[in-house]
Every structure is written in structure tokens, then in C-alpha cells.
Amino acid sequence: MKLHVNEEFSFKVKTIIKKGIFYTLLLSGFMYGSYKSGKDYCDEHPEYRYEDISNNDYNEEVDEEIEEEIEKEMQESIKEEVKVIEGINETINNNIIKNDERKVVAITFDDGPGSYTDRLLDILKENNVKVTFFVLGKNVLKYPDVVKRAYDEGHEICIHGYSHKYYTDKDPNTGEERGLGIKGTREEIVTTYNILREIDVEPQPYVRPPGGKVTDEIVQNIDYAFFKWSVDTRDWESRNKDKIKEIIYRDIENGSIVLQHDIHECSVDATEEYLPTLTSDYKFVTISELFNELDNDLEICNLYRNAKVKEKQLSY
């Protein structure tokens, strides 16, 4: 069985081990060097043993000579210990698990920020997980500090629009287009982008159309990558954390993009419960990281539902 160690924990463990080994070996070197130098010199010059010196038979030149010998021994000892430590460091680096064979999944949250987003960020931080937020411009205006916190903590900030109006929405009876179209969609995206830049957040060039409704014409004429999802928790419908978890446990796979909403408390509750149970088998990442981990291209003016997994060994 392979142990999965997150990068932050691995770094802390390595740092503690290295410092412990360094100071232990350095102290040992000092003590041994001092003892050996003093003993060897006294063996060669019995007239300068402690009992003779205590009888005022003290020679300052000899004392300086002893100090020089001790210093030389210490320097040589330190050089040897440094070589040992370098070897140990190399062994540690080689043995820390680098091949993480967990499946990779991107969790995404739409419609926020909201009143539960701060708590969600606490949960993500506790589990050392990064996610992607598709935010609404109107809600960023309400919770600018929350968005800035998410961005500063390494989460990916992307655009869901400003008002949550559909980019395309045809009347089921007449077929008449009631959506925003290319012009209206572009205006919503640009407005939200400018709001985010006002709080020093640089969003990724990724858009999730509200309701997943978008046309090929819109995708091909706006310089953003568009994202739907492959796992729909339907948290907005069930409002039940257990049903949300059931869908995630059942449907996620390597390369999945999961849809949740941080404006619903039930979805935050579900996240708090499923993350610790899945991190041994799944590595949760942002959308950018998902495509990078699976060595897949991510291009603008394209629509994605997931990151198609190539047949290859995952090695990070």
C-alpha cells in the first residue's frame, strides 16, 4: 500500500528531520573532536595533563597549540558531517513519495460568493484542497473580502456572469431566443472581470454559463474557455447533504469536474464530510491543475465537460 503525503506535510516532515539530524550530528562532531584532540595531545604530552596544569605548570603557547589542534579537528569533523547530511538529504528526497497515483478531480462552486463561502474556505484549508469558484459579479460586490481571501489562499477564481441571466434561452413553444446572445454575454463577462480586478483578483479566462446554457456561436466568438460539468450534485434541488454525497461517491472518476454551489449550506456541509473520506483515493485540484495533471490541452473558444483522461502513468 502506498502512502499519500500532501506537499505541505511532506515539506514540514522533511524540514524537521533535516534540522534534527543536522544539529545532532554537528553536536556529536564538536564533542568528539574536542575529546579526541584533547586526549591525543595529552597522551603525547603527559606533562600537560590537567593535574600538572593545576599545579601552575601552565604554558600559554602550548594552550594556543591545543586550541589550534581542536579547531582543526572540529573543521574536519564538520566537513565529514556535512557530507553525511547531504547524503541523508538525498535519501530523504528520493524516498518521499513522488508518484501520486490518486485519481484527480476538480471541484467547482457556482453562484457565489455567499454567506457560507467563508466557512467553506475554512474547510478547504483544513483539508489542504484547492477548488475553482465561478463567481457572479453582483455577489462579488456583496462579499469582496471573501473572494479576495479565496484568491489569496490559492483557489481559482473564474466567471459565471454578472446577473445569472442565461446566455441562450429559447422559448420552448415559439423557439424565440430570449437569452443574452453574444453581445449580452460579453458584457456580463467584462463587467464581472472589471469588478474582480478592482479588488486585485486576476480571474482565469474560464466561464461557466448559467444553467450550462450556451451556443457554439457564443463559445467560438468569446475569447474564454467555457466549462460545464461531468458530475452534477443537484444540490440546489435536493438541499440534502446526504444526497449530494451519494452522487459524488457514485459518479466521480479520474478527470471529473464536479458542480456544487457555495450559496447552499447543505453543499458546504456535504463538502466538510466527503473530503476527508475521499482524499486517500482522489486528489482534488483546480480546473487548470486538472488539465495540467492529466497532460491535456486547455484552449479558449472551446467547451469542456471534463478533462478526458489519457492512458498514462500519473507521475507528479
What pLDDT score was predicted for residue 73? 76
Do residues 6 and 128 touch, judged by C-beta distance below 8 A? Answer: yes
39, three cell numbers: 586526549
Q: Is the model more confident about 161 or about 78?
A: 161
User: CA-to-CA distance for 131 and 162, rounded, in angstroms?
Assistant: 20
Give the CA dihedral 201, 207, 213, 214, nearest 10 degrees. 130
| The residue type at 313 | Q
Mean pLDDT of 124-129: 98
Q: Which of 1-5, 21-25, 102-106 has the lowest mean pLDDT?
A: 1-5
pLDDT category of residue 281 using cuts at 50, 70 and 90: very high
What percentage of the chain reaches a pLDDT higher than 70?
A: 71
What pLDDT score was predicted for residue 96? 41
Do residues 245 and 267 touch, judged by C-beta distance below 8 A? Answer: no
Q: In the annotation, is 235 catalytic?
A: no
The H or E element containing residue 176 is none
Mean pLDDT of 86-112: 72
Check whether the bond before 113 is cis (ω within 30° of 0): yes
Question: What are 155-176's pLDDT values in tens digits?
Answer: 999 999 999 999 999 888 888 8
101, pLDDT greater than 90: no
User: CA-to-CA distance for 222 and 240, rounded, in angstroms?
Assistant: 36
pLDDT category of residue 279 using cuts at 50, 70 and 90: very high
Query: Grid coordinates 465537460 are at which residue?
Result: 305
Q: Please calculate the CA angle 258-263-267 and round it to the nearest 5 degrees.
A: 50
User: CA-to-CA distance for 152 and 199, rounded, in angstroms?
Assistant: 11
Interacting residues of 190 by C-beta distance below 8 A, sequence separation 6+: none
Residue-by-residue DSSP string for 34-97: HHHHHHHHHHH-GGGSHHHHTTT---HHHHHHHHHHHHHHHHHHHHHHHHHHHHHHHHHHHHS-
pLDDT category of residue 74 using cuts at 50, 70 and 90: confident
The helix/strand/coil state of 295 is coil
Strands (DSSP E) along the chain, which ranges?
Answer: 103-110, 132-136, 156-161, 206-207, 225-227, 231-232, 257-261, 282-285, 303-304
What pLDDT score was predicted for residue 76? 78
The single residue of 155, 160, 261, 264 carrying the catalytic annotation is 261
Furthest-apart CA pair in the chain: how many Å?
116
Q: In the annotation, is 261 catalytic?
A: yes
Question: What are 206-226's pLDDT values in tens digits?
Answer: 999 999 999 999 999 999 999
Distances (CA, A) of 28 to 71, 76, 294: 15, 13, 47
The single residue of 110, 111, 235, 269 carrying the catalytic annotation is 110
What pLDDT score was predicted for residue 138? 98
- Walk me through the domains of the chain, giving residue ranges and CATH numbers: 7-95 (no CATH), 103-304 (3.20.20.370)
Q: What is the rounded radius of gyration, in angstroms, for the C-alpha atoms of the chain?
A: 31
Do residues 93 and 246 touch, judged by C-beta distance below 8 A? Answer: no
Mean pLDDT value across the chain: 83
What pLDDT score was predicted for residue 44? 63
User: CA-to-CA distance for 25 and 222, rounded, in angstroms?
Assistant: 61
User: CA-to-CA distance for 171 and 165, rounded, in angstroms?
Assistant: 14
User: CA-to-CA distance for 10 and 128, rounded, in angstroms?
Assistant: 12
Q: Which of 45-49, 175-179, 243-247, 303-307 has the lowest mean pLDDT?
A: 45-49
Interacting residues of 211 by C-beta distance below 8 A, sequence separation 6+: 166, 169
Mean pLDDT of 262-288: 97
Question: What are 10-69's pLDDT values in tens digits?
Answer: 544 455 555 555 555 555 555 555 555 555 655 665 555 544 444 455 556 666 777 777
User: CA-to-CA distance for 32 and 81, rounded, in angstroms?
Assistant: 12
pTM over 0.85: no
What pLDDT score was predicted for residue 62? 60
